[in-house]
């Protein structure tokens, strides 16, 4: 309790010193506060934030501070640190003493708590206690602390316990106000669940009925699988096998014994695959897609409504009466825009004003003002016909006949084509054996050519335009070439110094060399369009990656508690008698050990994530999970249930992609 109040007072003192960014302090007090309030509303509308805040001047200043980028980054930083603690806690990829991780965790918890206290000062008190997000975070902090204390006490007594509350850590990522996107995606998934429930039940019914049929047809025939196991003699194993068949992971294998026995039995399996793998999965996808779209549309409609309401609030804070209607004076409008978007240029602001006020009166009307948030979101690229710096420094030289000729050459289409050819030749050289000195030296030639290209382009075009924010490909080219130059030089230096290639540096050199080939994409219009589309949908994909990481994290932590240490990986030269059965006697001569899957284990969080990726990719998932099961538990019903839940969840998520 003491700690809590300390965190609170700490947050208070922070709030007292709050500096509002971009705020001119010389203006009078009253209008200033109105402006601040309006700017806060416009900010929220612009970034689709949806936090109810108190409108008192003090609370608005606190709210500014709450939304300050440094505070947001700090929050994300602590969330990241908290999540990445799993790397260092037992079972650890990089072990650290318990005291260190515990201290870091307490630090994170304090940070989360103070963020929450800060939020409670910003938002109306009654709303704060009604919001499940806040309650959820508070309860999680409490549980984490209790768990930590118990663990600390037990670790002093040398008793190893399970740290259950590590599973709860992703709650911070999901429930802090900054993760609106992830929360929205979660909500959409949750809303879809009841509607796919019936399809799922029907699907399960079909799997169960087919399994029953399989047991009746094949169970009494004493058939054996290729591994010598009994074939559909046990009902639950049959269900599991046919469930795996839905994911196609054991596709011909499960059919072969029956097919070998009588070829007509193949019809059973083909009918099963058509019905369950193709038809039911397509129906799943269709239902999920339709409902997801529906819910997303609702969400967006709600967002648009909230945005408009916020802009109305902002308008009400600044309005003055002009004739019969309320308007905002041009001067206040300009102040507001300066506050909201301090980094846009004067000309840009003038442009926005002209759009909002096309009648050229000295005020902005209500409807025009409501559009401001959208106007601010429009990216305006300022094209300036700048003079090349060399032209202003050495005008005579830069305008000489030779220089003009160079410009003409660089601007010619043939220049691009020439370098496309060079890239293709380079690709062939990369594919060739790099042991011969000729090829190794060719690398220097290519590097020189690429650097020459960049220099020529910088000479011809204005460097500030060449390196503008939206010139993705120029940045990419330059980065790849400069990095390759550095890596190749370092490699050559190391080699001449020690007659020894550093494998890491060499790997980087190889990767950079191949990445260089990507530049060819930029030369074909249609490829550029596809790549640009992919770049545009990147933010949405990243949201889903966040979502998947949350789910992976939970499963990885649970998996580590259950399965860690059960399967061990031995280096190739190990002499351990269990090296060929992954450290578990049970796995001797199993498919798992024979396929050298020993590194697919839950011994630390990195391995766990890789195993989970493999499970998401679906192929061989049954084998990996089965081994996890038999090394830890008896393959009982509850274990199968766990497997099925896990896979269904992952399947569901994958379908959203």
Residue 424 binds to a second copy (criterion: CB under 8 A): no
Decide if residue 216 touches a second copy (CB under 8 A): yes
Q: Which stretch binds a second copy (CB under 8 A): 164-172, 202-210, 299-307, 446-454?
A: 202-210
Binding status of residue 226 toward a second copy by CB under 8 A: yes
Q: Give the nearer residue to a second copy in terms of CB position, either 99 or 541.
A: 541
Q: Does the footprint of a second copy cover residue 202 (CB under 8 A)?
A: yes
DSSP conformational letter for 468: -
Tell me which residues in 517-536 interact with a second copy (CB under 8 A).
517-518, 520-521, 524, 526-527, 530-531, 534
- 579 makes contact with a second copy (CB under 8 A): no
Per CB under 8 A, does 278 bind a second copy?
yes
Q: Which stretch binds a second copy (CB under 8 A): 120-128, 379-387, 392-400, 507-515?
A: 507-515
Binding mask 586-615 for a second copy (x = CB under 8 A): --------xxxxxxx-----xx--x--xx-
Residues in the chain: 657
DSSP state of 230: B
204 binds a second copy (CB under 8 A): no
Alpha carbon distances (Å) from 354 to 357, 362, 364, 368: 5, 11, 10, 10
Give residues 367-396 in contact with a second copy (rule: CB under 8 A).
none
210 in Cβ contact with 246 (< 8 Å): no
Of positions 295, 310, 513, 519, contacts a second copy by CB under 8 A: 513
Q: In this structure, which long-range contacts are made by residues 264-273, counting pairs with CB atoms below 8 Å and at least 24 apart in sequence? A: 265/217, 265/218, 268/210, 268/213, 268/214, 268/217, 269/245, 272/210, 272/242, 272/245, 273/245, 273/248
305 scored as a contact of a second copy (CB under 8 A):
no
Please check whether residue 209 is in contact with residue 268, taking contact to mean a CB–CB distance below 8 angstroms: no
Instruction: Tell whether residue 70 is a contact of a second copy (CB under 8 A).
Output: no
Residues that contact a second copy, how many (by CB under 8 A)? 73
The number of C-alpha atoms within 13 Å of 63 and in the hemisphere containing its C-beta is: 24
Q: In angstroms, rounded to a whole number, what is the distance separating the alpha carbons of residues 602 and 580?
A: 18
A 10 A CB-CB count for 278 gives 11
128, 119 Cβ separation under 8 angstroms: yes
9, 58, 248, 400: which one binds a second copy (CB under 8 A): 248
- Picking from 641, 585, 596, 651, the residue whose alpha carbon sits closest to that of residue 623 is 596
Nearer to a second copy by Cβ, of 223 and 344: the residue is 223
Residue spans of beta strands (DSSP E) within 127-255:
none
Q: Which of residues 530-569 bind a second copy (CB under 8 A)?
A: 530-531, 534, 541, 569
Q: Cβ closer to a second copy: 211 or 474?
A: 211
Residues 6+ apart with CB under 8 A from 87: 93, 94, 604, 605, 606
Select 59 or 598, whichever has its Cβ closest to a second copy. Answer: 598
Asked if 103 interacts with a second copy (CB under 8 A), we say no
Is residue 657 near a second copy by the rule CB under 8 A?
Answer: yes
Question: By CB under 8 A, is residue 494 in contact with a second copy?
Answer: no
**Cβ distance to a second copy smaller for residue 220 or 636:** 220
- Of 12, 54, 131, 253, the residue at the interface with a second copy (CB under 8 A) is 253
Residues 438-477 that bind a second copy (CB under 8 A): none
Indicate which single residue of 72, 191, 251, 502 sits in contact with a second copy (rule: CB under 8 A): 251
Burial of 64 per CB tally in 10 Å (0-12, 13-18, 19+): buried
Nearest approach in angstroms of CB 247 to a second copy is 9
198 touches a second copy (CB under 8 A) = yes
Residues near 387 by beta carbon (within 8 Å), at least 6 away in sequence = 462
Closest separation between CB of residue 517 and a second copy, Å?
6
Residue 362: phi and psi, rounded to 5, are -95, 15
Residue 619 binds a second copy (CB under 8 A): yes
Rounded distance between C-alpha atoms, residue 615 and residue 597, angstroms: 13
20 Cβ contact partners less than 8 Å away, ≥ 6 residues apart: 36, 61, 64, 65
51 binds a second copy (CB under 8 A): no
SS3 track for 563-582: HCCCCCCCCCCCCCCCHHHC
**Please, which of residues 284-303 interact with a second copy by CB under 8 A?**
none
Residue 637 binds a second copy (CB under 8 A)? no
Task: Give me the least distance between CB of 226 and a second copy, in Å please.
Answer: 5
């Amino acid at each position: 309790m003491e700690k809590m109040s300390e965190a609170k007072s700490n947050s208070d003192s922070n709030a007292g010193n709050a500096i509002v960014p971009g705020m001119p302090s010389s203006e009078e007090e009253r209008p200033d506060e109105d402006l601040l309030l309006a700017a806060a509303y416009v900010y929220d509308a612009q970034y689709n934030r949806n936090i109810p805040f108190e409108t008192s001047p003090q609370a608005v200043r606190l709210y500014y501070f709450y939304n300050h980028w440094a505070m947001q980054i700090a929050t994300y930083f602590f969330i990241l640190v908290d999540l990445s603690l799993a790397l260092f806690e037992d079972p650890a990829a990089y072990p650290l003493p318990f005291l260190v991780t515990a201290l870091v965790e307490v630090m994170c918890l304090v940070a989360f708590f103070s963020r929450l206290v800060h939020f409670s000062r910003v938002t109306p008190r009654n709303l704060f206690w009604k919001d499940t997000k806040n309650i959820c975070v508070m309860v999680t902090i409490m549980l984490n602390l209790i768990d930590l204390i118990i663990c600390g006490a037990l670790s002093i007594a040398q008793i190893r316990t399970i740290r259950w509350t590590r599973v709860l850590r992703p709650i911070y990522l999901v429930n802090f106000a900054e993760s609106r996107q992830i929360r929205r995606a979660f909500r959409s998934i949750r809303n879809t669940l009841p509607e796919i429930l019936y399809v799922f039940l029907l699907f399960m019914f079909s799997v169960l009925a087919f399994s029953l049929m399989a047991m009746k047809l094949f169970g009494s025939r004493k058939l054996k699988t290729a591994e010598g196991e009994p074939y559909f003699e046990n009902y639950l194993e049959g269900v599991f096998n046919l469930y795996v068949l839905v994911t196609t992971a054991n596709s011909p294998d499960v059919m072969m014994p029956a097919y070998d026995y009588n070829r007509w039995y193949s019809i059973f399996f083909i009918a099963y695959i058509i019905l369950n793998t193709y038809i039911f999965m397509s129906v799943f996808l269709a239902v999920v897609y339709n409902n997801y779209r529906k819910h997303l549309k609702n969400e967006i409609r709600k967002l648009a409504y909230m945005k408009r309401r916020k802009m109305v609030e902002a308008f009400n804070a600044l309005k003055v009466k002009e004739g019969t209607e309320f308007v905002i004076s041009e001067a206040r409008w300009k102040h507001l825009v300066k506050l909201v978007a301090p980094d846009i240029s004067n000309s840009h602001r003038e442009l926005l004003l002209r759009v909002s006020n096309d009648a050229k009166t000295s005020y902005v009307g209500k409807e025009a003002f409501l559009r401001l948030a959208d106007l601010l979101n429009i990216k305006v690229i300022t094209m300036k016909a700048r003079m090349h710096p060399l032209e202003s420094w050495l005008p005579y030289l830069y305008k000489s006949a030779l220089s003009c000729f160079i410009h003409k050459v660089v601007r010619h289409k043939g220049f691009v084509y020439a370098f496309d050819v060079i890239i293709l030749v380079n690709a062939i050289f990369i594919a060739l054996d790099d042991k011969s000195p000729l090829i190794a030296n060719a690398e220097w030639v290519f590097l020189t050519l690429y650097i020459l290209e960049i220099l020529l382009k910088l000479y011809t075009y204005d460097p500030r335009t060449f390196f503008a924010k939206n010139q993705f490909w120029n940045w990419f080219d330059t980065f790849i070439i400069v990095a390759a130059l550095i890596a190749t030089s370092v490699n050559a230096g190391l080699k001449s110094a020690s007659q020894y290639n550093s494998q890491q540096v060499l790997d980087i050199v190889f990767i950079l060399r191949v990445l260089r080939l990507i530049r060819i994409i930029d030369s074909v219009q249609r490829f550029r369009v596809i790549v640009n589309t992919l770049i545009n949908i990147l933010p949405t994909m990243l949201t889903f990656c966040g979502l998947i990481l949350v789910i992976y994290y939970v499963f990885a932590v649970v998996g580590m508690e259950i399965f860690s240490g059960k399967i061990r990986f031995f280096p190739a030269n190990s002499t351990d008698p269990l090296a060929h059965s992954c450290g578990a006697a049970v796995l001797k001569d199993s498919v798992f050990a024979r396929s050298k899957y020993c590194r697919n284990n839950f011994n630390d969080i990195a391995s766990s994530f890789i195993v989970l990726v493999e499970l998401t990719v679906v192929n061989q998932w049954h084998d990996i999970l089965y081994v996890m099961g038999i090394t830890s538990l008896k393959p009982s019903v509850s274990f199968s249930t766990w497997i099925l839940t896990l896979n269904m969840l992952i399947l569901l998520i994958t379908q959203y992609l």
